[in-house]
Chain A
Amino acid sequence: MTGGYNKQWLERFRSHWLWDWITTVDHKKIGILYLLGGGFFFIIGGLEAMLIRIQLFFPNNDFMVGREFNELLTMHGTTMIFFVAMPLLFALMNVAVPLQIGARDVAFPFLNSLGFWLFLAGGILMNLGWFFGNAPDAGWTNYVPIAANEYSAGPGIEYYVLGLQISGIGTLIGGLNFLVTIINMRAPGMSFLRMPLFTWTAFVASALILFAFPALTAGLFLVMFERIFGAAFFDVALGGNPVIWQHLFWIFGHPEVYIVILPAFGIMSDVISTFSKKRLFGYNSMVFAVLLIGFLGFMVWAHHMFTVGLGPVPNSIFAIATMAIAVPTGIKVFNWLFTMWGGKIEFTTAMLWAVGFIPTFVLGGVTGVMLASPAADFQFHDSYFVVAHFHYVLIGGTVFGLFSGAYYWWPKMFGHKLNETLGKWHFWLFFIGFHLTFFIQHFIGLFGMPRRHFTYQATDGLTLLNQISTVGAFMMAIGTIVLAINIYISAKKAIPAGNDPWDARTLEWAISSPPPEYNFAQLPRVRAMDAFWHEKMAGNKTMEPAGPLEPIHMPSSTHLPFFMTLGFFISGLGWVFRSLEVGVLGLVMVALVMFTHSFNHDHGYYIPLKDIKSNDPKKGAKA
């Protein structure tokens, strides 16, 4: 009668592992999903980078030219920022932050899941451009009028606008979630000034997301209305002004740089202090520096626009404000150095990445100060010098941080370490390749090569430099392949790493690896900064519980975030192809799912005492 679609079938469907992952609201699993999603886009963004470098190997090469090349560079930049750096940081934040503050979960598990699916949907939507129509081609900054209908025909820019809009909702939700989690769900005794630095940076980055992303959303809306509905915010002929977009974009775009670098700072702080066996030097000034960087990050957006012609007064003001950021950043660098000073430094792979980060990031930082001078920036701007600068910051900072964090928290996530020997190969190949690629680019820029140029002339004297840069990029690619092999081999052997493989300092290492669904059987009582280290020094093996052992209330899995996202995705696709019907249909689906969710009386479920007790005490039954 039902063609075989009976309850049994539904049961099989629901018990499948894939359904489990699609419906999960567990922050640790969502962290792993973010890791997979971000890793997938990392491969895509990396391939795009390799194609760019291949094209630039010979002068006047015709491998990928014109619009194709513009699509490549646009997708490379957008992918790496929005679909690699941010989700991978969200992965580590999801895995570590609730554990570091001794929480059972995040504040809004439903939203957490929704945030992940929206990010994935946005990323996929944008990459569909490669297969249907054309990919966006106006640079990751999407400046108008080059992004207007007149100069970028086809659906390319729509993929950018809607892909970012959808994933942007996810990011905003994610940031909000972490803010509330960190404010509300800290374990007893975990005061703000006892929080691990990674949690602090996650907190500030989330606050930046809260204030920066709405500017992007507004900007994207304007572009969407201009392209799809014929508004004229940017069209000079109709009284618009293209500089509006640049302001909106950089009011978002500059803080964005700090959104992806601050959590990396946090990772470095945790890793360096763990593997130096010392508490962080100048903890209070570190926290203050993070807050100050976050604040100043909003004050300096116009330094991306020195050449737009704002005039010497705004240029000077923004120059000084920008230079000011070097002060708190400098404080952080010296504090890291003095954390290692007098310590016992152990060069694990995680530590190598953190250590490699310091000189690399300093180099990226000093070129940042150089760029902050408008008069000099007239020479640097939009040249390869800038490309070198921001890759030093974004790879030397964020990507090194991500690698460090991945090696560091891998045993907590999966119960086994990554192979250290392969890890070191990965580090050295990538580290040397990185400097070979990007150090050279400072000179490519000073020798007059503008960024986003698909070619240079044989007489320009840029050939050899570009070739060296390409060779370096290949070394980085090989390093990344070693990482992939490492992940595979380590998972196959899967040697249990234990709860606290690094003799670490913070709360997440006090429970089993991987942690049970409810994290802490009893919430821990925090008595000092570096809580777990404090207990270990006091001769305790575990944290002191803050309350009696009770049944634990957990939220139920739900498929609604996935389907709500599907609605957004369908709607996005509809607008891309300028189909009002499909666009509205998708939004109706979103509204229906929201409605369902609002009237859904699911109060979650309890884990009874016997289940908690039956967990091996070593595996974290006790907090």
Chain B
Amino acid sequence: MSQGKKLWLTARFLTLTALMVLVMAGCQEPTMSVLDPKGTVAEEQLSLIQLSVYIMTFVCVVVIGIFVYVLIRFRAKPGDNSIPEQVEGNMKLEILWTVIPIILLAIFAVPTVQKTFSLAEEAPAEGEPLRVKVTAHQYWWEFEYPDLGITTAQEMVIPTGERVYLELESKDVIHSFWVPKLAGKQDLVPGRTNTMWLDAKEPGVYAGRCAELCGASHALMNFEVKAQEPQEFEQWVDERQNPSSEPQNAQQEAGKEVFSQNCMSCHAIDGTAFKTKGEEAPNLTGFGHREKIAGLLEFNDKNLEEWLKNPEDVKPGTYMPSFDYLSDEDMDNLKAYLKSLE
């Protein structure tokens, strides 16, 4: 088989594989796809990505077109020992392939600069925009709404159709805040405050990830952004400002006792009148409403017990100690209490 044909076959094979993968991946429905934006920022970023893909596809087609033609047309024929003409160069051609890339880059550079500036817009002083202070910890996320007096963890709740301005800080190492469907990432660097804004166009739960290597459980530092209709959001704010964290039955009462003896120094729960207000670990107010345990495990009894008994197994390097010494009864009571937090 000739080289040209081989190459052609390879090219065909690669294209086919690529198509196949795309189709099959489509069936799998990636939950964090940049290509499926649900917010203004992600949409603008996607439009920039698309523009660059068009330009770059054009470049690739031209180059690979010439490439394939050359390989087929100019391969050495057996028995032909002549020496090809030794061409020095061609000024016109060389200028042509200097100028065309410059033009293409200019087409890409203008919207790039525009969008770079528009995405960096700061929160306006007037109109009381919604601000959230995001603080990253190894390996969890803290979301504080300074104007609303709410602190939560692992889940950031926002109203749809409204710009939310984020202030990003880190308590330990560098992390990176990324919700692919809503907005590109921004680092959280100790010692500085970064800002970004995002919005969600429709209600939903959007997966987020830590994108900067931050230690053993970097891959498990997941979080979610819950976008709700504005009135639903108001309701959530209301609930969180007046949390009902008091035990409703004897088991939960006993659980609260276990909590105060074991968990309270690190975890805070609003509205419980605990003497110490733990701030080292996620605020557990409204824990019973969470979608996930530790931002990761499906919320059920079995997983909750697994997490409490040996967090290190779930998240390597986590700072939460194991509570495997609790008696079965204490454990059940604690779980009941935690689940009751609304």
Contacting pair A462 B30 (CB below 8 A): yes
Scoring B residues 114 to 131 as 1 if CB is less than 8 Å from chain A, else 0, what string do you get?
011101100000000000
- List residues of chain A with CB within 8 A of the CB of B116: 312, 315-316, 319, 373-375
Could you tell me the distance between the alpha carbons of A338 and B28 in the complex, rounded to whole angstroms? 44
- List residues of chain A with CB within 8 A of the CB of B76: 277, 344-346
Scoring A residues 205 to 237 as 1 if CB is less than 8 Å from chain B, else 0, what string do you get?
000000000000000000000000000000010
A334 within 8 A of B: yes
Contacting pair B21 A465 (CB below 8 A): yes
The interface size bin for chain B is 35 or more
What's the least CB distance linking A602 to chain B, in Å? Answer: 47
Among A301-345, those with CB < 8 Å from B are: 307-309, 311-312, 315-316, 319-320, 323-324, 326-327, 330-331, 333-335, 337-338, 340-345
Could you tell me the distance between the alpha carbons of A5 and B329 in the complex, rounded to whole angstroms? 76
Scoring A residues 366 to 378 as 1 if CB is less than 8 Å from chain B, else 0, what string do you get?
1101101111111
What's the least CB distance linking A168 to chain B, in Å? Answer: 22
A558 within 8 A of B: no
Could you tell me the distance between the alpha carbons of A323 and B116 in the complex, rounded to whole angstroms? 15
- List residues of chain A with CB within 8 A of the CB of B88: 279, 281-283
The majority secondary structure among interface residues of chain A is helix
Contacting pair A145 B70 (CB below 8 A): no
A506 within 8 A of B: no
Q: A138-B213, A375-B115, A453-B219 are in contact. Are A448 and B3 (CB under 8 A)?
A: no
Among B25-57, those with CB < 8 Å from A are: 25, 28-35, 42, 44-46, 48-49, 52-53, 56
Could you tell me the distance between the alpha carbons of A243 and B28 in the complex, rounded to whole angstroms? 39
B260 within 8 A of A: no
Count A-B pairs with CB separation below 8 Å: 312
Contacting pair B94 A331 (CB below 8 A): yes
Contacting pair B174 A331 (CB below 8 A): no
Contacting pair A439 B112 (CB below 8 A): no
B172 within 8 A of A: yes
Could you tell me the distance between the alpha carbons of A359 and B83 in the complex, rounded to whole angstroms? 27
Could you tell me the distance between the alpha carbons of A343 and B71 in the complex, rounded to whole angstroms? 10
What's the least CB distance linking B334 to chain A, in Å? Answer: 26
Q: Which of A316, A331, A379 contacts B98 (CB 8 A)?
A: A331
B254 within 8 A of A: no
Question: Which of B100-108, B144-152, B233-241, B302-310 is the contact stretch?
Answer: B100-108
Could you tell me the distance between the alpha carbons of A359 and B56 in the complex, rounded to whole angstroms? 13
What's the least CB distance linking A102 to chain B, in Å? Answer: 21
Contacting pair B178 A450 (CB below 8 A): yes
Q: A146-B173, A369-B105 are in contact. Are A376 and B185 (CB under 8 A)?
A: no
In the complex, the chain A residue whose C-beta lies closest to that of B118 is A375
Q: A281-B87, A331-B97 are in contact. Are A309 and B34 (CB under 8 A)?
A: no
What's the least CB distance linking B330 to chain A, in Å? Answer: 29
A594 within 8 A of B: no
B266 within 8 A of A: no
Could you tell me the distance between the alpha carbons of A616 and B178 in the complex, rounded to whole angstroms? 68
Q: A366-B56, A461-B30 are in contact. Are A66 and B84 (CB under 8 A)?
A: no
Could you tell me the distance between the alpha carbons of A364 and B217 in the complex, rounded to whole angstroms? 30
Contacting pair A277 B83 (CB below 8 A): yes
Contacting pair A242 B189 (CB below 8 A): yes
B203 within 8 A of A: no
Could you tell me the distance between the alpha carbons of A276 and B83 in the complex, rounded to whole angstroms? 10
Contacting pair A323 B108 (CB below 8 A): yes
Could you tell me the distance between the alpha carbons of A464 and B30 in the complex, rounded to whole angstroms? 11
Contacting pair B189 A436 (CB below 8 A): no
- List residues of chain B with CB within 8 A of the CB of A44: none
Q: A381-B211, A460-B31 are in contact. Are A344 and B74 (CB under 8 A)?
A: yes
Scoring B residues 70 to 100 as 1 if CB is less than 8 Å from chain A, else 0, what string do you get?
1100111100101111111110011001100
- List residues of chain B with CB within 8 A of the CB of A277: 76, 83-84
- List residues of chain A with CB within 8 A of the CB of B8: none
- List residues of chain B with CB within 8 A of the CB of A78: none
Could you tell me the distance between the alpha carbons of A376 and B33 in the complex, rounded to whole angstroms? 14
Q: A450-B178, A462-B30 are in contact. Are A338 and B98 (CB under 8 A)?
A: no
Contacting pair B24 A464 (CB below 8 A): yes
Contacting pair A324 B86 (CB below 8 A): no
B326 within 8 A of A: no
Q: Which of B13, B74, B94, B217 contacts A432 (CB 8 A)?
A: B13
Among B178-222, those with CB < 8 Å from A are: 178, 180-181, 183-187, 189-192, 194-195, 207, 209-220, 222
What's the least CB distance linking B188 to chain A, in Å? Answer: 9
In the complex, the chain B residue whose C-beta lies closest to that of A340 is B70
Q: Which of B35, B97, B185, B213 contacts A330 (CB 8 A)?
A: B97
Contacting pair A323 B87 (CB below 8 A): no
Q: A334-B97, A358-B67, A373-B48 are in contact. Are A284 and B217 (CB under 8 A)?
A: no
In the complex, the chain A residue whose C-beta lies closest to that of B46 is A379
In the complex, the chain A residue whose C-beta lies closest to that of B11 is A359
- List residues of chain A with CB within 8 A of the CB of B71: 340, 345, 355
Contacting pair A382 B185 (CB below 8 A): yes
User: Can you name 6 A-B residue pairings with CB atoms under 8 Å?
Assistant: A236-B191, A276-B84, A345-B70, A381-B211, A448-B30, A461-B25
Q: A278-B86, A374-B116 are in contact. List 18 more A-B contacts (CB 8 A).
A: A143-B173, A145-B173, A146-B214, A243-B192, A281-B88, A283-B88, A307-B187, A312-B116, A319-B113, A327-B98, A331-B94, A342-B74, A376-B52, A376-B112, A378-B184, A382-B185, A448-B32, A460-B207
